[in-house]
Amino acid sequence: MGNPLYDRLFGIHAGKQTPFLHLPDGRKLTHADFLDTAARIANALTGMELEPGDRVAVQVEKSPEALALYAACVQAGLIFLPLNTGYTTQELSYFIENSGATMVVCDAAVEARLTPLAQAQNARLETLNADGSGSLMRRSLGMLPAFEPVRRSEDDLAAFLYTSGTTGRSKGAMLTQANLLSNAETLVQEWRFTEDDVLLHALPIFHTHGLFVATNVVLASGGSMIFLPRFDLDDMLRLMPRVTTMMGVPTFYTRLLSDDRFSRDLSQHMRLFVSGSAPLLADTHEQFEARTGHRILERYGMTETNMNTSNPYDGERRAGTVGLPLPDVELKVTDPETGDTLPEGEIGMIEVRGPNVFQGYWQMPEKTAAELREDGFFITGDLGRVDADGYVHIIGRGKDLIISGGYNIYPKEIELLLDEQPGVLESAVIGVPHPDFGETVVGILVPEPGETPDIATIESAVGQALARFKHPRRLILLDELPRNTMGKVQKNVLRDSYKDLFAQG
């Protein structure tokens, strides 16, 4: 049986002296070096009496050692639980308690704050700092650089990822070895990754994008990464001549375009630019292609499924779409009320089924039953449609749907129009309570630098293009939209900020 995830992502590189991680200070870690570190950590973890199936909650800065901890957990049969470095102590309390973590690994700077949380859970607390120091690595240094992987099956859990929790408590998505493996190996084929690829990696590794997409794809293909702690524009521009591929969120691409140093010459050797985690504006697509000659490949995934769709590597990459379902993924659009499959082109709820789809939510059987059908289809919560050529268009989250006076209003339709208006950089459309209509439409506009959009002109354009019930009752200017760490607009924050806009009295 072996340990499929370890064997096919990590173990295949045992003894390999080719580079795996290129670090900002010029150091290189070979695949063999990395696996030696992972084995030492695995020995340390089992030496502290952690057993297969135990959860290891990890809130640390990005580092080679943090990545090796992930490999060590896979090797030792432990369930890896990466946590956003921005989470507060109160938020961490929920994740540690809910997951039943046996060990918590954190930065030494927050050790004192997390000690009571770990003690309350009867969990061990170890530290791991951005520079590779800390109690976990001190324990590991004396360990052997070899570890026999714990036997696991593809159905065994490998990781928990907690959803962002914009509506109620976060849910722990249970991901199996097969979930992670199938997606990584599919993406290697779809995106043509080989051992010759060098990925520019500036994403966080507490999120599925940076860890289970970017890192796992590089591991599965035998390539290497320039491993940056975070996005830094100067570093990205300086290092781009040394890489073949890049994965990023839309903000990465808008920041690159904002700098004149980012040119066709600088990017001409690149093989692939991938964007995800948040929608990429069609305007960004077009500007990027005009500047570089490259067309960004946009894809669609989520915490519970990793990647579901992708624009083609060979073929048309359509701006404003997330491409076609991956080869092993079934996708359909259904009526949110009845669950019936809708005809081509109609807007409804996106559902997906495939080996990438998670097992369910940890200790939440009701939520699992509500969102994961008995036939294996997962109700994503995203509204979308599939066009005549099979390309998937994401219209918005189901919870973002606005129902005003009995009419369904899709924010994306209005946002696309607002984004086209003079002086508007981007927009977000939300529904807020209204005494007469139940909900009504509000548009939030972010101006282009140095511009002041003419509200009256925009209102006139909206009036000519959209039915009256879709018109925003108020257009509000903001310097920037609230976003989470992966660049997604936090509409729940906007809705909360403006919930009393039309309150009576």
**Residue 347 belongs to a domain:** no
Instruction: Report whether 457 contacts 425 (CB < 8 A).
Output: no
Which of the two residues, 279 and 6, has the higher pLDDT score? 6
- Residue 196, pLDDT score: 97
**Residue 110 belongs to a domain:** yes
- Residue 167, pLDDT score: 44
The tokens describing 270, both together, are 């690149």
- Residue 407, pLDDT score: 72
Separation between Cα atoms, residue 18 and residue 222, nearest integer Å: 9
* 443 beta partners: 429, 475
Single-letter residue type at 26: G
Same domain for 215 and 88 = no
Same domain for 195 and 146 = no
pLDDT category at 266 given cuts 50, 70, 90 is very high
Same domain for 118 and 14 = yes
Of 279, 273, 317, the C-alpha closest to 300 is: 279
**Residue 61 belongs to a domain:** yes
Q: Which of 295, 329, 364 delimits the end of a domain?
A: 295
Range of the domain at 123: 4-20+32-153
**Residue 376 belongs to a domain:** no
The DSSP secondary-structure symbol of 280 reads P
Rounded to the nearest angstrom, the gap between the alpha carbon of residue 453 and the centroid of all alpha carbons in its chain is 32
Pairing outcome for strands 19-22 and 224-227? parallel
Lowest-confidence segment of 114-118, 173-177, 229-233, 408-412 by average pLDDT: 408-412
**Residue 111 belongs to a domain:** yes
Lowest-confidence segment of 329-343, 354-368, 402-416 by average pLDDT: 402-416
Same domain for 234 and 136 = no
Separation between Cα atoms, residue 494 and residue 24, nearest integer Å: 37
pLDDT category at 467 given cuts 50, 70, 90 is confident
Which of the two residues, 492 and 356, has the higher pLDDT score? 356
Confidence check: pLDDT of 164 > 70: no
Instruction: Report whether 3 contacts 74 (CB < 8 A).
Output: yes
Q: H or E segment at 308?
A: strand 306-310
Same domain for 221 and 114 = no
Instruction: Report whether 80 contacts 58 (CB < 8 A).
Output: yes
**Residue 204 belongs to a domain:** yes
Separation between Cα atoms, residue 20 and residue 67, nearest integer Å: 12
Mean pLDDT score, 420-448: 91
The tokens describing 104, both together, are 């918590």
Positive or negative, the Cα torsion across 148, 151, 154, 157?
Answer: negative
Same domain for 149 and 195 = no
Same domain for 11 and 132 = yes
pLDDT of 184-238, one tens digit each?
Answer: 999 999 999 999 999 999 999 998 999 999 999 999 999 999 999 999 999 999 9
pLDDT of 477-488, one tens digit each?
Answer: 999 999 987 788
Same domain for 46 and 146 = yes
Cα end-to-end span (Å), the chain: 68
pLDDT category at 406 given cuts 50, 70, 90 is low
Of 191, 366, 447, 173, the C-alpha closest to 296 is: 191
- Residue 284, pLDDT score: 86
Same domain for 149 and 50 = yes
What is the residue-averaged pLDDT of the chain?
93
Residues near 26 by beta carbon (within 8 Å), at least 6 away in sequence: none
Confidence check: pLDDT of 165 > 70: no
The tokens describing 365, both together, are 């059987």
Residues near 94 by beta carbon (within 8 Å), at least 6 away in sequence: 169, 170
Q: Which of 238, 269, 295 delimits the end of a domain?
A: 295
Same domain for 209 and 86 = no
**Residue 317 belongs to a domain:** no
Q: What total number of domains does the chain contain?
A: 3
* CATH label of the domain that carries residue 101: 3.40.50.980
pLDDT of 20-78, one tens digit each?
Answer: 999 988 899 999 999 999 999 999 999 999 999 999 999 999 999 999 999 999 999 99
* CATH label of the domain that carries residue 442: 3.30.300.30
Positive or negative, the Cα torsion across 9, 11, 12, 16?
Answer: positive
- Residue 247, pLDDT score: 97
Same domain for 119 and 15 = yes
**Residue 174 belongs to a domain:** no
Confidence check: pLDDT of 11 > 80: yes
Single-letter residue type at 249: V
Lowest-confidence segment of 52-56, 118-122, 320-324, 405-409 by average pLDDT: 405-409
- Residue 505, pLDDT score: 42
Confidence check: pLDDT of 277 > 90: no
Same domain for 135 and 9 = yes
Single-letter residue type at 89: T
- Rounded to two decimals, the pTM is 0.85
Confidence check: pLDDT of 166 > 50: no
Q: Which of 272, 295, 318 delimits the end of a domain?
A: 295
Separation between Cα atoms, residue 208 and residue 215, nearest integer Å: 9
Of 135, 180, 159, 151, the C-alpha closest to 78 is: 159
Confidence check: pLDDT of 142 > 80: yes
